[in-house]
A = this chain, B = another copy of it.
Amino acid sequence: MPIVTPIEVTDDELARVHFDGDGLVPAIVQDIADGTVLMVAWMNEESLRLSLTEGRTVFWSRSRQELWRKGETSGERQWIREASYDCDGDVLLFRVEQDGAGACHTGNRSCFFRAFGRGVGATGAGTE
């Protein structure tokens, strides 16, 4: 298992994050090794705090309305190496080491496996 690297944040830093009307903020997950954008999911404040404390991604499932520890059942955990927020504080970016085959529930390494201009069902761009 990769070494866990918790990130200690201050309340001032967390106050920079703007959660939407549902208390959520989108989080991009990127492979730190080669830069592949793996997926986007949602976090509420609790899942953001847990992610930083536990050093792995924890999201809020909008469909199930519950915390979702990425890889808890699949083993495809994401170990956070860097975490940042954008200039408006309304998008998060996590640079991770991805366990297992990948991030996507389809079995693809990245969720962005369908490229425009290649027809429906084709794959290519975004997976590097």
Measured CB to CB, the residues of A under 8 A from B are: 7-10, 12-13, 16, 26, 28, 30, 34-37, 39-40, 52, 82-88, 91, 93, 95, 104-106, 108, 111-117, 119-120, 124-126
List, in ascending order, chain B residues with CB within 8 A of A113's CB: 84, 87
- Contact A12 B116, beta carbon cutoff 8 Å: no
**Could you say how many copies of this chain the assembly holds?**
2
Q: Are A39 and B7 in contact (CB under 8 A)?
A: no
Write out the residue numbers on chain B whose beta carbons fall within 8 Å of the beta carbon of A105.
Answer: 87
Q: How far is the CA of A111 from the CA of B8 in the complex (A)?
A: 22
Q: How far is the CA of A1 from the CA of B83 in the complex (A)?
A: 34
Let me know if B120 and A16 touch, CB within 8 A: yes
Secondary structure call for the A interface:
loop
Which residue from B8, B13, B30, B125 sits with its C-beta under 8 Å from A82? B125
A9 to B114 CA separation, bound complex (whole angstroms) = 12
Partner of A119, one of B13, B104, B115, B116: B13
Instruction: Enumerate chain B residues within 8 angstroms of A91, measured Cβ to Cβ.
Output: 26, 40, 111-112
